[in-house]
Amino acid sequence: MRKRVDDNQKQCQVCGKYKKVYITFGKNKCQNCINQSKTGKKGNSGMVYDKNASVQFEIFSEKLTLIKVKKSDSLFVKWYIEHYPQSKGIVGRQINYKILYKNEPIGIISCASPPLNYKKFRNYFSTKNEKLFVNNNVFRLVNKPNDNNIGTKILKLFRNTIKTDYKKIYDDNLLGIVTFVEPPRTGSIYKADNWDYLGQTQGISVRRRGEDWQQKKYVTGKIKHIYAYKFKEKNRNKV
């Protein structure tokens, strides 16, 4: 998403010229550089879908493992886009993983920046700083092994892993994680992992349009279940 900085000319961080610039995924870019960066390929925010992306054998561990990958990783993108075909990609703070079971990739799981100014989340974590919690934006098992508890095992590993990785990457101590579950799914896997149920969304989403993305349109979306997990006090920031 990009937004107009102001009406004065500023330096484009790509071409170096002083023009009217827009904040585009963290960089000041002029309109010419924005247009030149468009690839015409299916994909958004650095995620290009390749239907021929294949599973690569990876020697890492005989145990259940999370391998941190870039959002542009071909297999991660394939499984993500096939799960969310209408997605505009992943933006903001994020940590993405491929899930390995006995050295075989079986799925993906990821966290990203949560929705801003969400009252339920601010109340739950007792903070207005959205950088201190993340949204579990995707959890997909493609090749499910013969293990009835694999889902809760992955969630537990995910919780423990992102707490450490987030501190290393962003230098913030996470308060916890949130997630949205779309019916007919009920979120039973999150219940089993002791996440708290916060109710349902109102089913309203915001779409931005226009040259500077400042035109807002509120549309009726899908009602989703909301779950959240709060880390223990000793691992939390003082806020």
- Between β-strands 43-44 and 47-48, what pairing exists: parallel, antiparallel or unpaired? antiparallel
Buried b (16+ CB within 10 A) or exposed e, 125-148: bebeebbbbbbbbbbebeeeeeee
Distance of CA 30 to the CA centre of its chain: 26
The reported pLDDT for the residue numbered 20 is 83
SS3 of the chain: the string is CEEECCCCCEECCCCCCEECEEEECCEEEEHHHHHHCCCCCCEECCEECCCCCCCCCCCCCCCCEEEEECCCCHHHHHHHHHHCCCCCCCCCCEEEEEEEECCEEEEEEEEECCCCCCHHHHHHHCCCCHHHEEEEEEEEECCCCCCCCHHHHHHHHHHHHHHHHHHHHHCCCCCEEEEEECCCCCCHHHHHCCCEEEEECCCEEEEEECCCCCEEEEEECCCCEEEEEECCHHHCCCC
Kindly report the length of the chain: 239
| One-letter amino acid for residue 81 of the chain | I
The reported pLDDT for the residue numbered 239 is 40
Are 96 and 131 spatial neighbours (Cβ–Cβ below 8 Å)? no
The reported pLDDT for the residue numbered 150 is 94
| One-letter amino acid for residue 224 of the chain | K
Q: Please give the CATH topology (third level) of the domain spanning 39-235.
A: Aminopeptidase (3.40.630)
* Average pLDDT of adjacent 10-residue blocks, the chain of 239 residues: 57 85 72 68 63 60 86 96 89 95 94 91 96 97 92 95 96 97 93 96 64 52 92 59
Domain ranges of the chain: 1-38, 39-235
The reported pLDDT for the residue numbered 206 is 55
The reported pLDDT for the residue numbered 9 is 82
Are 111 and 95 spatial neighbours (Cβ–Cβ below 8 Å)? yes
The reported pLDDT for the residue numbered 119 is 92
The reported pLDDT for the residue numbered 207 is 55
- pTM (2 decimals)? 0.72
Neighbours of 7 (CB within 10 A): 6
The reported pLDDT for the residue numbered 218 is 53
CA 117-164-62 angle, to 5 degrees, is: 125
What Cα–Cα distance (Å) separates residue 92 from each residue in 24, 112, 182, 192, 220?
11, 7, 22, 29, 24
